[in-house]
Amino acid sequence: MDFSLSEEQILIQQTAQHFAQQELAPIAADIDQHRQHNRFLDNLKQLAELGFMGLGVNSQYGGSEAGTVAFSLAITELAKACAATATTTSVTNMVAEVIQAIGNEAQKQRYLPKICSGEYAAASFCLTEPQAGSDPAAMQTKAVKQGKGWRLNGSKLYITSALYAGVFVVWAVTDPNAPKGKGISCFLVEAGSKGLDIAPPEKKMGQHGSYTSVVSFNDCHIPHSALLGSENSGYRIAVAELAGGRIGIGSLALGIGLAAMDYAKHFMTEREQFGQKIGHFQGLQWMLADSYTELEAARLLLMQAASLKQQGQPFATQAAMAKLYASEKANHACYTALQLLGGAGYLQDHPLERMSRDVRLTTIYEGTSEIQRLIIARDLLKEIL
């Protein structure tokens, strides 16, 4: 099996690495403290101009056509510097891929160039509801036909980039009498639509720069042309796109974990105790070795899932495995790195305090670790049970 990267993939990885270190890393702590939000938005625009908001989108719509492997590499590099920026980039790419995969030609022409160019600062994915998190089929947001369009009513939780998104992909029940999960459709709702209300950002544990809001639809009228894909096929779309999103979040977790361990590794070569550098103590060396080994395994799982998706092969189970392992081991890596710094790691003078908060979410969004285990187990048992 060939694990080497193409010249294009290496270039994208290096470009993302350079941008992350030059533009994101210097302000990551400020972004975390809700400062320099305009700079955060400027960086999103620059990333779009570099081609990072449409990595899987065809060039005819302004995309990079770089593929899923390059997407994973880019998100990992961005996350090493700023998890908030990486999250926004990942979700925006996810929305662009949904539109490309399911949208008609008019929808692609209308929205994809705006996402890829940065005309839209971001795009949002509206699926989760108060009573429909891990069970999206239980959603209660409804879309009713009215005249030449649809009337949307309901609310969505935890919507990334809602305050500055240009377009929202929204799921709603269109046939309340259909079996669970069968009467759901998908819609494109533009920012500024009448009846679309966005609440102030939630106060979160981490990833502060990536604003997360409640999005409500109060008699929000959208045209018939806003229907994405065929009517009542939205649940299938959601399940398919969540699988791809898990590659993004797994890659993001990997980046945070690697950044944490890199920081701890350098600290071990400087900090002295008992008359020697702490990097000379075998117990700490083993902690370092174990974490880097786990993160390398996570990287390979992510590359496998990304490669399968890029080749058009089934990848959902591999994406679940990669997301589960990468997010869990990245959490462990951040706490290990913090432990290696001792009391210093608990201070905001060092980035590990922020990284430990940022990484925690990766075991929750795009499907919790528990949901990933269910997906994996069901695939393993489907031919037996």
Nearest to 189 by CA among 157, 240, 225, 145: 225
Nearest to 239 by CA among 375, 72, 40: 375
Q: Are strands 149-160 and 142-146 parallel, antiparallel or unpaired?
A: antiparallel
Nearest to 50 by CA among 83, 77, 80: 77
- The sign of the CA dihedral 4, 8, 11, 13 is negative
Take residue 308 and report the two structure tokens written for it.
């399968």
CB 68 within 8 A of CB 91: no
Q: Are strands 212-223 and 196-198 parallel, antiparallel or unpaired?
A: antiparallel
Task: Give the C-alpha separation, 70 to 316, whole Å.
Answer: 18
Catalytic residue flag (residue 366): yes
Helix (H, G, I), strand (E, B) or coil at 279: helix
Q: Facing residues of 149 across strands?
A: 146, 223
Catalytic residue of the set 49, 296, 366, 383: 366
Helix (H, G, I), strand (E, B) or coil at 68: helix
Active site residues: 366
